[in-house]
Amino acid sequence: MSGGKAHLQENLRESLQNHVRGHGPEAARHDAQPGEAEADIVFETRGVAGLITLQRPKALNALTLPMVEAMHRQLRAWAEDPAVTRVVVRGAGGRAFCAGGDIRRIHALGRAGRLPEVMAFWRAEYCLDACVKTYPKPYIALIEGIVMGGGVGISLHGDVRVAAESYSLAMPETGIGFFPDVGTTYALPRLPGRTGAYLALTGSRIGAGDALAVGLATHAARAADFDAVVARLAEGADIADTLADVAAAPPDSGPLVAERACIDACFGADTVAEVLDRLDRAAAEGSDFAAETAATIRLRSPTSLTIAHAQMRRGAAMRFPEAMRAEYRLCERLMRGRDFYEGVRAVILDKDNRPAWSPATLAEVDAAAITAAFEAGDGEGPRFDGTEGPQP
């Protein structure tokens, strides 16, 4: 397991290297917005389909603020265009659909005390996620490779999520002193059993088999068929029939299926400490999975774990906008705190993988302050109801 954890940390570091921009082939008809985003995200109208291609392959298609704003603006324009009947989003390069947001820049801005700029990114990203959630036309994500953080936000809330053979999903935020966001407060608690809590606390990666089993992905297809899927959708072909015609054999499942009984028994506990106690008892009875999972959780930020656990306990009863508002309040709290900056330093910047979390133990976490973030606000601030964001 130590090798597996090191591999996950390496993928996390790699996924957040956002300083290199990707460039791709020219589009059939470009609708890209001017400015910084133009080279990083491409919009095309192909027949009746609006096609979005994330074009930062060397940065694993990680999202920048200009990309987020440009994508939101284009989605709103296509929503009002009767000639566009569906939207397709994909990532360039083959290694990743989208590995998240521009964490290095957020870290630098926060360290410099530029909190309004930090929160401008989170607000824009969450507004984009709300746009996807409420989009009035079919929204199809073709997911090849890594999908993390912000990539989950612009795919999971859409109608159709097609997993290629290299699909690899994770919400690894507890490992960098953050929490699973982009609407996963709403989505993960609605997965079968306690699988969402397992993903939220551990940050573990899953493949297409597990994603299909729990509903994170809706279809499977070979990445080699994605171009044909786009072409048929552009011609106006029926979406369900198109995906049925290219459906791949069901991929093998992983721990979410094989260890479901252990996950449900352990991750339904009332506190993170009790989750760990249950895992330790299962490990003592011979479960290697439980032992490895407990060891992984103990590496995570105690504050982040407490937040993620509260998300999973409360999220199933929350409406999507309510969940997004809670995430925004939690985000603002953590951007004013210490663990996020320490986690990014240890995992992304210095790469010593030895974060000094503060507080260092679960018992020291201010649970009341976390609870307050879930309470209803005074009505001010973003609504995250799908109506906000840049105008077309």
Return the active site residues: 101, 150, 173, 181
- Tell me if 173 sits within 8 A of 304, measured CB to CB: yes
> In angstroms, how far is CA 255 from the centroid of its own chain?
19
Which residue(s) pair with 273 in the sheet?
none
Torsional sign, CA 378, 384, 386, 388: positive
Going by C-alpha positions, the residue among 182, 211, 202 that lies closest to residue 279 is 202
Cα dist from 129 to 49, 71, 123, 181, 317, whole Å: 20, 11, 10, 10, 19
Q: Which helix (H) or strand (E) holds 168?
A: strand 168-170
Torsional sign, CA 213, 203, 168, 108: positive
Query: What would the DSSP string read from start to end of 293-307?
Result: HHHHHTTS-HHHHHH
d(CA 244, CA 322) in angstroms, rounded, equals: 35
- Tell me if 184 sits within 8 A of 331, measured CB to CB: no
Q: How many CB atoms lie within 10 A of CB 7?
A: 11
**The two three-digit tokens of residue 18, written as one number:** 């956002």
Cα dist from 211 to 11, 144, 221, whole Å: 19, 13, 13
Going by C-alpha positions, the residue among 53, 61, 52, 55 that lies closest to residue 16 is 61
CA 198, 202, 208 angle in degrees (round to 5)? 65
Ranges assigned E (strand) in 203-353: 206-207, 219-220
Torsional sign, CA 28, 138, 231, 49: negative
Which string of b and e fits 56-70 if b means at least 16 CB within 10 Å?
Answer: bbbbbbbbbbbbbbb
